[in-house]
Amino acid sequence: MSGQLKEVRLRIKSVGTTQQITKAMKMVSAAKLRRAQDAITQMRPYAEKLQEILGNIIGSVDGNIGGGLNVERPIEKVLFIVVTSDRGLCGAFNANSIKLAKSIIQEKYKIQFEKGNVSFLPLGKKGFDSFTKSGYKVIPDFWTIFSNLNFEDVKTAASYVRNAFINKEYDRVELIYSKFRNAATQEFVCEQHLPIPKTKSSGSSAPKDFIFEPSKEVLIAELMPKILNTQLFKGVLDSNASEHGARMTAMDKATENAEELLKSLRISYNRARQAAITTELTEIVSGAAALQG
């Protein structure tokens, strides 16, 4: 009986220590989430408006402009930019991004995948490890981007992708990331990064007319790379905020589960201790009765 009591005490101590860790991780994630949320909240309207303007301009012109970044080619080779995190303990955050990439392959690029023409550019250690272990074609140059998240490193990755597309190494580039909604909600999305998609104006809205200075071609060629850098940076910031939100939610749930387990263990401990006391009392009474007899 004493062995059982000792085992339950050790389990209570172990779960209590784990609960302290999950509480601490929740608080750290909450602090990081606030900063990450502020960053993406300030960035998103600017990036979305730039994308809208660029899409409208491209939709109003014909032919090859901006160095061919808007040119639709027969899709032979595909590149997936998949944004994940460097660390785990954030629920299904990383698994959902990787799962979405694989499902998109089966839905849209199965033929290209069977020919070995699908590659991955992971941003984040978890995605890099997963795709590497699964035997996919992986570009290993940018997965450490979250070790020191900044615009210049994201710009370097975006420049690599842009040059590869211009050189016809890839015919389609898809960006997969988690769009931040709130701490408990993340929306995993796949967006066409290249070629730059045209914005389809609705029939009720009047066509947008712009006056260009300098010429439309020169302006677009100058704006395209900068807007693509901004779009990728927005996706990375979205995923960064989503990661901290997912981790905070996961650690909060883990803390609650630990509390429930502690309650159950304390009840088991009290029952075992009560049984041990009852047994000792019975032995004492039996011994006294034997002496009197």
Task: Kindly state the tokens that stand for 216.
Answer: 């439309």
Class of domain 2-19+252-288: mainly alpha
Per-residue pLDDT tens over the stretch 28-70: 999 999 999 999 999 999 988 888 877 777 766 665 665 678 8
Angle at the Cα of 92 from the Cα atoms of 176 and 129, rounded to 5 degrees: 65
Q: Can you identify the CATH homologous superfamily of domain 21-250? A: ATP synthase, F1 complex, gamma subunit (3.40.1380.10)
Q: pTM of the predicted model, to two decimals?
A: 0.86
Fold agreement between 2-19+252-288 and 21-250: no
- Looking at the DSSP bridge assignments, the partners of residue 190 are 176
Of the candidates 64, 104, 58, the one whose C-alpha atom is nearest the C-alpha of residue 81 is 104
**Catalytic entry in 58, 90, 158, 265:** 90
Give the H or E element holding residue 123: strand 118-123
Is residue 80 a contact partner of residue 119, using CB atoms and an 8 Å limit? yes
pLDDT in tens, 235-277: 999 999 999 999 999 999 999 999 999 999 999 889 888 888 8
In one letter, which amino acid is 60?
S
Domain extents in the chain: 2-19+252-288, 21-250
Task: Tell me whether residue 90 is one of the annotated catalytic residues.
Answer: yes
DSSP string, 125-157: HHHHHHHHHTT-EE-TTSTTGGGG--HHHHHHH
